Amino acid sequence: MKIRATLIATLGVLVGSLGSFSAWAQWQWLDETGRKTYSDRPPPAHIPDKNILQRPAGAGGPQPVIALPKAESPAAAAPEGEDSPEHQTANPEPAVPTAEERQRQKAEAAAKAAEAAKQAEEHARLVQQRQENCNRAQAALRTLQSNVPLAQMGPDGQPTTMSDAQRQQDILRAQSVVARDCGPLPADK
């Protein structure tokens, strides 16, 4: 007997809770076709205030309704042939990314970080190379401008003294390297 009474009480609670399912919904409104819609979220922006039948406690007057952007709206995401937007309820919360999307986002972030690291490494290598070129060109320029007799290898492999014309030509070449490599990097590189 006791088990039967407990079973009847449990069944009564279950039936009572199923009957009050619509009471869980805090919002109730009529859509464009006159169909009642129940939701725990506010109605879509296109529902006029006069069609809102029930609001949550403390939501006295008209509620500001946030409309979804086109790309995120249920109507834009629904394939052809499914319910029209009038029969769908609005979901103002953004969709939670799936595991695949999160993994793709992590992969994209890792690829961007790797690319940034590669660019930073290339930039550092370029800066170091320019500094080495600058140092060599400045040293060569100092030597060429010192008026110390300089020797160079001739076509026959024998050392010959550098002529004044050759010295001026080498000074101009060293000055152009100093001008190119001894300043800040150009902004466009």
pLDDT of residue 94: 61
Question: CA-to-CA distance for 129 and 95, rounded, in angstroms?
Answer: 50
pLDDT of residue 62: 56
Check whether 61 has a pLDDT greater than 80: no
HSE-up (13 A, CA, CB side) for residue 183: 8
Give one DSSP letter per residue of 74-126, joined into a string.
HHHHSPTTS--GGGS----SPPPPPHHHHHHHHHHHHHHHHHHHHHHHHHHHH
Q: What is the mean pLDDT of the chain?
A: 77
Check whether 74 has a pLDDT greater than 80: no
pLDDT of residue 12: 66
- Asked if residues 152 and 162 have their Cβ atoms less than 8 Å apart, the reply is yes
Task: Take residue 26 and report the two structure tokens written for it.
Answer: 């805090």
Confidence of residue 116 (pLDDT cuts 50, 70, 90): very high
Q: Write the burial class of residue 27 (CB in 10 Å: 0-12 exposed, 13-18 middle, 19+ buried).
A: buried
Annotated domain spans of the chain: 21-59, 134-184
Question: CA-to-CA distance for 46 and 65, rounded, in angstroms?
Answer: 9
Maximum distance among all Cα pairs of the chain, rounded to whole angstroms: 125
Confidence of residue 117 (pLDDT cuts 50, 70, 90): very high
Check whether 90 has a pLDDT greater than 90: no
Q: Between 189 and 121, whose confidence is greater?
A: 121
For 28, 142, 153, the CA distances from 146, given in Å and listed in that order, are 94, 6, 20
Rounded mean pLDDT of 28-38?
Answer: 89
| Termini Cα distance of the chain | 89
Contacts of 75 (CB under 8 A, 6+ apart): 84, 85, 88
Question: CA-to-CA distance for 39 and 8, rounded, in angstroms?
Answer: 31
Check whether 73 has a pLDDT greater than 50: no
Picking from 89, 85, 96, the residue whose alpha carbon sits closest to that of residue 65 is: 89
Q: Is pTM beyond 0.85 here?
A: no
